Amino acid sequence: MPKERLVCVVCGRKFPRGQGVILVIGGKEYSFHSKVCALKFVRRLLEELGEAASTAAEGVVREFAEELKVREEARKKKIV
Ligand SMILES: [Zn+2]
């Protein structure tokens, strides 16, 4: 069975499923042939979102900080 071909939303390049980056937003799949194209899309998306994006970004930064702390704690416990 031939592999499904996806089309990059940003540059239009075709690539097989399993390569590139897939983002699922609101249940819809968006495909990008590379991380660079995915990042370009996300940057534009954040511009469109404006104020809502800055609030969400703060929340995500906090989540990552929390995860980092948990990992640090786990590492410390292993050393001791
Ligand atoms: Zn692309």
Residues 12 and 29 in one domain: yes
Pairwise CA distance, residues 48 & 51, whole Å: 9
What is the arithmetic mean of pLDDT over 58-63?
97
Q: Which domain holds residue 26?
A: 1-49
**Domains identified in the chain, total number:** 2
Kindly report the average pLDDT of the chain as a whole number. 94
In the structure, ligand 1 is a single-atom ion and the residues with CB under 5 Å from it are 8, 10-11, 13, 33, 37
The tokens describing 67, both together, are 């995860």
User: What pLDDT, on the 0 to 100 scale, is given for residue 79?
Assistant: 73
Reported pTM: 0.79
pLDDT tier at 1, thresholds 50, 70, 90: low
Residues 41 and 56 in one domain: no
DSSP 44: H
Burial readout 61-74 (b: 16 or more C-beta within 10 A, e: otherwise): eeeeeeeeeeeeee
What is the arithmetic mean of pLDDT over 33-58?
96
Give the Å distance between the CA of 31 and the centre of ligand 1: 9
Residues 24 and 38 in one domain: yes
Percentage of the chain lying above the pLDDT 70 cut: 96
Give the Å distance between the CA of 33 and the centre of ligand 1: 4
Give the Å distance between the CA of 13 and the centre of ligand 1: 6
What is the arithmetic mean of pLDDT over 8-29?
97
The tokens describing 1, both together, are 């069975």
